[in-house]
């Protein structure tokens, strides 16, 4: 069975961005020596945390959708990318490509017949 190239590209970009955003915010928080700067970095991390969690979850579902050729996982990943954009609209350009590719990958996957059909 052929694997979706759109989902492959989407999960690679999603994984790279997830690693980047986690390393940036947690690395920035850990590297602060001043108490006020550490507090500010901690608040910034807390504000971006929903975006980070949703992006990581979307990437996981994207990987599952690609690896198992399951439409449901691909759609869930695409929706989670969309919700990640809503939680942090200023970072939309980091996840818009993954979201679009996930929806395209979902649309191109063949629908598997259910047991009742």
Domain spans of the chain? 5-108
> Under a CB-based contact definition with an 8 Å cutoff, are residues 95 and 17 in contact?
yes
Give the pLDDT confidence score for residue 103 in this predicted structure. Answer: 96
- Whole-model pTM: value is 0.88
Q: What is the mean pLDDT of the chain?
A: 90
DSSP symbol at 114: P
Q: With 80 as the cut, is the pLDDT of residue 27 above it?
A: yes
Structure tokens at 57: 């979850």
pLDDT of residue 110: 81
Query: What would the pLDDT profile of 33-66 be if each residue is shown by its tens digit?
Result: 888 888 888 898 899 999 999 999 999 999 999 9
């Amino acid at each position: 069975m052929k694997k979706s190239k759109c989902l492959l590209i989407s999960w690679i970009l999603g994984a790279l961005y997830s690693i980047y955003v986690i390393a940036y915010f947690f690395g920035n928080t850990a590297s602060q020596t001043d108490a006020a700067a550490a507090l500010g970095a901690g608040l910034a991390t807390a504000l971006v945390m929903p975006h980070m969690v949703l992006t990581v979850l979307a990437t996981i579902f994207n990987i599952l959708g690609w690896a198992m050729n399951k439409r449901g996982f691909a759609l869930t990943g695409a929706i989670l990318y969309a919700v990640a954009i809503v939680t942090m609209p200023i970072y939309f350009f980091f996840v818009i490509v993954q979201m679009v590719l996930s929806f395209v990958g979902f649309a191109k996957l063949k629908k598997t017949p259910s047991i009742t059909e």
